[in-house]
Structure 1
Amino acid sequence: MVQYYWNPAFQQQQQQMMPPQVTLPSGRPPATGEQSYIENILRLNRGKPGVFHFSFEHAVEAGKNTIAVQGRVEAAGRDHVILSEIGTNKRYLFPMIYFDYAEFNEELNYFNQNPLG
């Protein structure tokens, strides 16, 4: 809604809706950057072998509503992941809504957990 005239009640309402500023104990604002969403974690571990599990609400064949792909992440976006299957180099593009979990046999790269830098 666009206000074309001054309205003190509207201005006060807008000020109440603004989120508070966040500062760390050091007085610095928090660092901005990647956040720990699944697609960002998959990107950090691009190329590592793993088993990626997906399930689908509507299966083409009864009882076949899951798939496990043994492969590597090639790319990951907000709503999708691209996998290459180990051994066949077959490529898959899966919407993230079907992603259940992934298994890795090695340590994963993750974001710095130290909030002070």
Structure 2
Amino acid sequence: MASNFPSQTPAYGQFPQYGFGQQPQMPPTFSGGQIPGFPSFPQPQKPQSPAANVPGMLPIEESYIENILRLNKGKIVTVYTTFENNSQWNAKIFKGAIEAAGRDHLIISDPQTGQRYLIPMIYVDFVTFDEEIEYQYPFSGMGPSLSSFPPR
């Protein structure tokens, strides 16, 4: 069987030369992706989405800490943080009103001094509230309060 591939391997950085209109011959393909003489294996199944909601359980995408902090915007909190390998202070406590929260940060402001703190979430150990925590999502419609669901 004649081949359209060059007979010698080109040197590094060089490309094989084909004549006008010639292209390298590709190996044959088989339907179903099976090669004769080789065993076929079952195709892996797609895993179900981890965000799938289980009836009676708290929806995963709504239980993130930053969402809970956003729901409580304006409330006074105490944020406990630790900073590894810090020679000046290893742990620090911040107290203030929640201004904003994102996936990787929390912004609070001290109402007495007006000082604002941008705290990366990787340093946050836990947050305490001096009042009841809002945990009902306003966009969830007329359904039951999320606090009535068992935790995951």
TM-score by length of 2: 0.56
Shift in Å, 1:65: 1.3
Question: What's 1:18 paired with?
Answer: 47
Question: What's 1:53 paired with?
Answer: 80
Cα RMSD of the aligned pairs, angstroms, is: 3.1
Q: 2: CA distance between counterparts of 1:34 and 1:23? A: 12
Unaligned runs of 5+ in 1: none
Secondary structure class of the residue paired with 1:12? coil
Q: 2: CA distance between counterparts of 1:51 and 1:22? A: 32
More strand by share: 1
CA contact under 8 A between 1:53 and 1:99: conserved in structure 2?
yes
Decide whether aligned partners of structure 1 residues 98 and 10 sit closer, same or farther in structure 2, where only a CA change above 3 A counts: farther
Shift in Å, 1:51: 1.1
Partner letter of residue 128 of structure 2? E
Decide whether aligned partners of structure 1 residues 36 and 52 sit closer, same or farther in structure 2, where only a CA change above 3 A counts: same
Choose from 26, 40, 44 the match for 2:71. Answer: 44
Question: What's 2:115 paired with?
Answer: 90
Question: What's 2:62 paired with?
Answer: 35
CA contact under 8 A between 1:84 and 1:91: conserved in structure 2?
yes
Q: 1: CA distance between counterparts of 2:53 and 2:33? A: 29
Shift in Å, 1:107: 0.5
CA contact under 8 A between 1:70 and 1:86: conserved in structure 2?
no
Secondary structure class of the residue paired with 1:46? coil
Secondary structure class of the residue paired with 1:72? strand
Question: What's 1:79 paired with?
Answer: 104
Partner letter of residue 73 of structure 2? R
Question: What's 2:16 paired with?
Answer: none
Aligned length: 104
Question: What's 2:21 paired with?
Answer: none
Choose from 121, 128, 143 the match for 1:103. Answer: 128
The higher radius of gyration belongs to 2
Q: 1: CA distance between counterparts of 2:63 and 2:53? A: 18
Larger RCO: 1 or 2 (CA < 8 Å, sep 6+) = 1
Unaligned runs of 5+ in 2: 1-28, 35-39, 137-145
TM-score by length of 1: 0.71
Q: 2: CA distance between counterparts of 1:23 and 1:104? A: 29
